[in-house]
Amino acid sequence: MAHRSAYRILVCSIAAALCLGLVGCSKEKQRLVVYTAAEADQLPAYEASFQKAHPEIDLVWVRDSTGVVTAKLLAEKKASQADVVFALAATSLIQLDDENMLAAYAPKGAAGRDPRFNDSRTPPHWNGEALWSTAICVNTVEIAKRHVPVPQTWDDLTKPIYRGMITMPDPGSSGTGLLTVSAWLQMWGEAKGWAYMDRLHQNIAQYVHSGSKPCKDAARGEIPIGIAFDFRAAKTKSEGAPIDIVIPKEGVGWDIESSAIIVGSKHRAAAEVFLDWSMSQEAMAIYAKSFAVIAVPKLAAPVLNLPSDLSSRLAKADLRWSARNRMRIITEWTRRYAAAKATAP
């Protein structure tokens, strides 16, 4: 009989757990679905700040790499699941805007915003929060073991001494990958840009899904040189990884993390509240911890391990050109490099 009651207790507790779980899933506050390419380790701070200001709204994050989020939004065009897009590359937002997917809205928020961070129309269709740019993570321990110097320029990376020692993100999935490739094409012209990538390809060990992975792989010494982005490089270094952060002197690619309201959102009021928050002084203070260049220049602060003159090291690049040529660049890049690497052993 004791065993029977043990059975019953088990069955009852499972049933209770399931009921609790179902109740937990179905609790409804105001639910705002936010598509974002912000980094997973940045989201908790954003979420906490927003919840503190607006406890009445629940945020449901859909986070993935820039390319995946953009493709998802385009695919869902007719019946979008998203209410708001947050911290997605402006390049992607311009592409979405060309498909008439973004609603015009001028968020309230901190004064003194740099107009170059916004869509130029009034009211703007998208609003930028912070700028991020390419940065190279170089593992000093592994570089020393191989008796090669730390590369300082883009050109250095194509030297034969670095064969098989470099990773970079796939521009199809990664926003960092795209802005890096796009800057090469714009700085040097298309012919020279592709010729550079052909040479670089000889030294690439792997093309990876995200812009973070190259730096984390470099941190573990797995592949000593990773083409990544500024926030990830600075954070990885401050966590104690033996890496040098290199900002090549020819100039680096950049893009602007931006937000917009999706046309047809059923939670328009909450979406506007979210956009207001994204431009608020509190939000800017959070961005300033990760990014050296933010929408309200006077609120920017030095970021540990990032050069203070980062804004003057950016390549001359036109986001509009990147957006209009995005699909063409990705297709050409995939044809040249992704497919070529898919070889049998």
Partner 1 sequence: MMARPIFSLTGMITLLFCLAAMVALALPVAVLVAHSVMAPDGSFTIAHYVAYAATPGLLRALSNTALLGGGVVLVVLPLAFIFAFGLERTVLPGKGMLAAAASLPLLVPSLLPALVLIYLFGRQGLLAPLLGGRTIYGFPGILLADAIAALPHAVIILRTALRAADARLYEQATLLGASGWRKFFTITLPGARYGLVSAALVVFALTITDIGAPKVIGDNFDILAIVIYKQVLGQQNFELGAVAAILLMIPSLLAIVIERAAAKRHAAVMSAKTRPLQPLPSPLRDRLVGTVCYGTAAAIVLMLVVCQLVALVCLWPYDLSLTWANYALDRFDGGGWAAVGNSALLAAMTAICGTSFAFAGAYVSERCKAGTFFRGLFSRLALLPAAIPGLALGLAYVLFFNDPANPLRGLYGTVAILLIANVTHYYTVAHLSAVGAVKAIDSELEAAAQMLGRNGLSVLLRVVVPMSAPVLLEIALYLFVNAMTTVSVVMFLYPPGFKLASIAVLAMDDAGDLAAAAAMGMMIFYVNLAVRLTGQWLFAHGHRVVGNRAPTRFVEAAI
Q: Which residues bind partner 1 (CB under 8 A)?
A: 3-4, 6-7, 10, 14, 17-18, 21, 25, 31, 33, 39-41, 44, 60-65, 67-68, 71-72, 74-75, 78-79, 81, 141, 172-173, 206-210, 212-217, 219-223, 239-242, 335, 338-345
Q: What is 153-191 written as a DSSP string?
A: STTGGGSGGGTT-EEEE-TTT-HHHHHHHHHHHHHH-HH
Helix locations, the chain, DSSP H:
2-26, 43-53, 66-75, 90-98, 140-145, 175-188, 190-201, 213-219, 230-238, 268-278, 281-290, 319-333, 339-341
| Nearer Cβ to partner 1 (286/300) | 286
CB-nearer residue toward partner 1: 234 or 300: 234
Least distance in angstroms from the C-beta of 135 to partner 1: 15
Least distance to partner 1, CB of residue 103, Å: 20
Task: Give the shortest CB-56-to-partner 1 separation in angstroms.
Answer: 17
Q: Is the bond leading into 123 cis (omega within 30 degrees of zero)?
A: yes
In this structure, what is the dihedral angle of CA atoms 187, 159, 200, 318, given to the nearest 10 degrees?
Answer: -10
Least Cα distance to 294 among 145, 102, 87 occurs for 87
Question: Which residue's CB is nearer to partner 1, number 223 or number 260?
Answer: 223
Q: How far is CA 68 from CA 71, 78, 144, 239, in A?
A: 5, 17, 37, 28
Q: What is the smallest separation between the CB atom of 188 and partner 1, expressed in angstroms?
A: 25
d(CA 234, CA 237): 5
Taking the complex as a whole, the smallest distance from the CB of residue 49 to partner 1 amounts, in Å, to 16
128 vs 172 by CB, closer to partner 1 = 172
Write the CA distances from 213 to 20, 207, 216, 278, 299, integer angstroms.
37, 10, 5, 27, 29
8: CB partners within 8 A, 6+ apart = none
Nearer to partner 1 among residue 33 and residue 234 (C-beta):
33
Counting runs of H as helices and runs of E as strands, what totals does the chain give?
13, 11
Nearest-angstrom CA–CA distance, 186 and 203: 22
Q: How far is the CB of 36 from partner 1 (least distance, A)?
A: 11
**C-beta closer to partner 1: residue 114 or 222:** 222
* Long-range residue pairs from 20-27, CB within 8 A, at least 24 positions apart, any chain: none
By C-beta, is 186 or 210 nearer to partner 1?
210
CB of 5 to partner 1, least distance (A): 10
Which residue number, 35 or 105, has a Cβ lying nearer to partner 1?
A: 35
Please, what is the minimum distance in Å from the beta carbon of residue 116 to partner 1?
A: 30
